[in-house]
Amino acid sequence: MVSRAFALIFLLSHPFALGIIGLALGIVALQRLNEEQQRLNGFSSSPDVTFTMDQSDMFSASMSITVACGVITLWTTVSSVLLCMDHRRKHQRLGKPGKKLENEVSPRRRSGRSEKTQGAVYLILAAWLLASMVSLAVFYATGSRRVMAMTGTTILPDDIAEDARRALGLASAYKDIGPLKGVMIQPWFCIFWTTASGVYLLVSRPAHGHSH
């Protein structure tokens, strides 16, 4: 009983903490992308020229990772509360001897069903974060954001847009944007521990209580 409770605390504390860190890193990265977009939008070499930057692929992937990490943290909190409630109900029932009703589900069986459901949710969340990380890894390794200069509806030569990008000190390749490096690395640990928590809840069994 004690060793299983310790294992659950040890496992669930990791996706909770790593989810918070991933959420924070994602927010910082999104803020950087948004700030640099605004800086470029406000830059003007002449009154008739406007500049835009396409980074929607990286922004979407980073947003998905940020939300996934936040949901993992939230679900870990909910799951921990549910596990504590199941544990409490089981011991309350075991402390009250009496005749078991014909259709009554035993506390251990109810707890087992709850844990398997929770384990499945952990695996779904891990799969969501994994899919988002794969997308981000592709964009991070090979992608870059395109800066365009326009006057009205006419697209100006690329060298004008590049001059503006360099003047603002904006990186072209995603891998050269500092905050994205943390988003590229840290969530992999969150995926591992979220998966480990889900697998443990699916395959392990609630501890036996003393029967009366």
At 1, is the pLDDT very low, low, confident or very high (cuts 50, 70, 90)?
Answer: low
Give domain status of residue 155, yes or no. no
Q: Report yes or no on 167 lying in a domain.
A: no
Q: What is the pLDDT of residues 150-204, one digit of tens each?
A: 888 888 888 888 888 899 999 999 999 999 999 999 999 999 999 999 999 999 8
Is residue 152 in a domain? no
Query: For residue 98, how many other CB atoms are within 10 A of its CB?
Result: 7
Interatomic CA distance for residues 94 and 115, integer angstroms: 19
How many domains does the chain contain in total?
1
More confident residue, 146 or 183: 183
pLDDT at 4: 77
Tracing tokens 């470029």 back to the chain, one arrives at 40
**HSE on the CB side for 174, CA within 13 Å?**
27
Q: Which domain holds residue 69?
A: 2-43+56-96+105-143+174-203
Residue 22 and residue 132: Cα distance in Å, rounded? Answer: 13
With respect to residue 27, please indicate whether it lies within any of the assigned structural domains: yes
If pLDDT is split at 50, 70 and 90, which confidence band does 207 have? Answer: low
Distance of CA 190 to the CA centre of its chain: 8
3-state SS, one letter per residue, for 61-129 = HHHHHHHHHHHHHHHHHHHHHHHHHHHHHHHHHHCCCCCCCCCCCCHHHHHHHHHHHHHHHHHHHHHHH
Binned at pLDDT 50, 70 and 90, residue 46 comes out as confident
Position 111 scores a pLDDT of 58
Structural domain includes residue 169: no
Lookup result for tokens 């009496």: 98
Does residue 211 lie in a domain region? no
In the chain, the largest separation of any two C-alpha atoms, in whole Å, equals 86
Q: Which residues pair with 82 in a beta bridge?
A: none
**Per-residue pLDDT tens for 74-125?**
999 999 998 888 767 665 555 555 555 454 445 556 556 888 999 999 999 9
- pTM to 2 decimals? 0.83
